[in-house]
Amino acid sequence: MGGRRVAVVYDLGSATPLEIRTAAGRACEVEFVGDSTRPHVAAAADGIRRFAGFTDLAGLDAEGRLKAVEALAPDGVVTFSEYRLGETAEYAAALGLPGHSAEAVALLTDKLAQRRTLAAVSPVRFAGAGDVDAALAATGLPAVLKPRRGAGSAGTVRVDTAEELRGALSELPVDDYLLEQLLTGDPATAGPGWGDYVSVESVHTPAGSRQVCVTGKFPLDGFRETGMLLPSTLSEVDTEAVLALDATATAALGLRHGLTHTEIKLTPDGPRIIEVNGRLGGYVPGILKQATGIDLVRVALQVALGLEPRLPEPRWACVTYQLFLTPGDDGVLARVDGADELASLPGVQRVDLRARAGDHVDRRAGTQALLGVVHGIAPDHDTLARTARRMTEVFRPIFEGSSR
């Protein structure tokens, strides 16, 4: 990659600017581009300028943005943000660079269009939410109401009655939502105490598609993730079934050049697609790099340059995990107790606290409402299960007005 330049279309996503710059190393130059009127970009822009170039696209129309990116003379363009996939695809197509096609991005970023395309691959009942009665007839109850666009489970809710659905939609733009069958997980597949879903990271190039790993999960909190682990607890047979479904789904979506993060539910009827995302999954690059040394951020840069990345078979010396510190409640945070106890537990390598007293916590924000992340290792899954149970006991977020 030496001497080449990648334009990184930056926004809230699965890799920080420093992670991206570190992954590039001396192999390529990275130039960040972003719109500083977006809060996440504005908060990061000054920091980015300390170690990389930053081109501000604020105030420019589509043509002006393209000219600004073209002026950088990039050899590749990439994003790690769900919200910038369409924009990045436009730049790549206009500049003749590798990347997801516009057609693929349309399916990756619209969950309703994606369901329609994958209907024969992964049978899940679904419908647009514009006609409530028709949607309920198609999906049945209970069901899941989710935005057609977005990430991190933000705005995703369970509905158990028609009245709940109408109430949830009363203040929403109904055409921007879809209703899906609530998939029932099979706790026996991953094993008791583990999440009944997994994710698959895949790399797509002209040479073909390759799957890097199946990431295991801790149990969901509603529809919000509570953490992940490598390797997963799946048997070889179940792992192969998950990989086969991912391969079929990404092929059906026409993915030929880029990375994907596929979330898959483990049901009594076999694995079912939750959704396919056209970028790296949140938190996955860090845990995979810690566990195996494989740097998916670097791989994404290589693919953006049209290179064929080397992907060794992952080898697991232990169980590596990230456990998310979820709020458990909404409101104004008064304090967080138990962080020191978390850090002293066996195998815990660090505790990254995000929460501060006075923060307003709204669980509807999905993974953006996390209070922190615990990073660690365990010799086996049973040990990790015991450690995780202890973590939930010692970590205590206290909200203003709480009697605790």
Per-residue pLDDT tens over the stretch 142-154: 999 999 998 767 7
* Rounded-to-integer distance, Cα 160 and Cα 178, Å: 15
> Which CATH number, 2.40.10.120, 3.90.1150.10, 3.30.470.20, 3.40.50.1820, labels domain 183-317?
3.30.470.20
Domain ranges of the chain: 4-97, 125-181, 183-317, 318-404
Is pLDDT at 187 greater than 70 in this prediction?
yes
Distance CA(17)–CA(23), nearest Å, equals 10
Report the b/e string of 393-402 with b at 16+ CB within 10 A: eebebbbeee
197-213: pLDDT as tens digits: 999 999 999 999 999 99
Q: How far is CA 49 from CA 32, 40, 54, 56, in A?
A: 9, 15, 6, 11
Average pLDDT (164-175) is 92
When pLDDT is cut at 50, 70 and 90, the band that residue 334 belongs to is confident
Architecture of domain 4-97: 3-Layer(aba) Sandwich (3.40)
pLDDT at 163 over 80: yes
C-alpha distance from residue 294 to each of 29, 101, 130, 291 (Å): 20, 26, 43, 8
pLDDT band of residue 2 (cuts 50, 70, 90) is low
Q: What is the reported pTM?
A: 0.93
Strand partners, 261: 201, 277
The topology (CATH level 3) of 318-404 is D-amino Acid Aminotransferase; Chain A, domain 1 (3.30.470)
Measured CA to CA, the distance from residue 294 to residue 192 in angstroms comes to: 29
Domains 183-317 and 318-404 alike in fold? yes
Query: Which CATH superfamily does the domain covering 125-181 fall into?
Result: ATP-grasp fold, A domain (3.30.1490.20)
Cα 162 from chain centroid? Answer: 30
